[in-house]
Amino acid sequence: MRYLGNKESIASKIKEVVFDKVNIQQDTVLFDAFCGTGSVANSFKDACKVIINDNLHCAVTYSYRRMVANSCKFENLGFDPFEYFNTIDLEEQGFFYNTYSPGGSSRMYLTEQNAGRVDFFRHTIEKWKNDNFVTEEEYQYLLACLIESVSFVSNTAGVYGAF
């Protein structure tokens, strides 16, 4: 994900320094207070217990996704949601369409088609959660994948530090 301050390139070095200073065991708890994209938390997930936090809810969702991705099997859903989303050609005119595309506003962060696709994906994921077709982990994983995919079709400079 394009994000200002991403620690992906130095996560292994951070892990090395921590392991040098602290006797990390499986029951050790690492608290990543400002998890961002989860690079540091993800690098520790197999070594100890990890708790994540961030002021931005989307950062926690995205980081959590990195940590639970391997456990998401979508057994209750009965099919691969990514294959479904990549083969079905449906759109909705919801929040993203009305707020971030020229279809409903003067903003042009997304094309009308891409914004409509994001709305369809978002509403479908929420419906699957409400109908108990996906677990909480699978729900968070799907939301994080949607967050990630929006960065590939958005008309932004690539660094989310503009404020």
* 1 has a pLDDT exceeding 70: no
Region 85-110: what's the mean pLDDT?
93
Residue 2's pLDDT band, with cuts at 50, 70 and 90, is low
Beta strand 49-52 pairing with 29-32:
parallel
Quick one: pLDDT at residue 63?
87
Region 42-46: what's the mean pLDDT?
92
Whole-structure pTM value? 0.78
Structure token digits, residue 17: 């320094």
Region 138-151: what's the mean pLDDT?
90
88 — alpha (psi -120 to 50), left (phi > 0) or beta?
beta
Quick one: pLDDT at residue 162?
47
Span 76-86, pLDDT tens digits: 999 999 999 99
User: What sections of the chain are H helices per DSSP?
Assistant: 11-21, 39-44, 57-68, 81-87, 95-100, 112-130, 136-153
The residue written with tokens 């799907």 in the block is: 142
CA distance to 47, 54, 107, per residue, from 10 (Å): 17, 19, 35
Calculate the average pLDDT of the chain.
90
Quick one: pLDDT at residue 157?
58
**Residue 83 to residue 75: CA distance in whole angstroms:** 14
**Residue 156 to residue 124: CA distance in whole angstroms:** 25
Structure token digits, residue 89: 């050609």
Residue 151's pLDDT band, with cuts at 50, 70 and 90, is confident
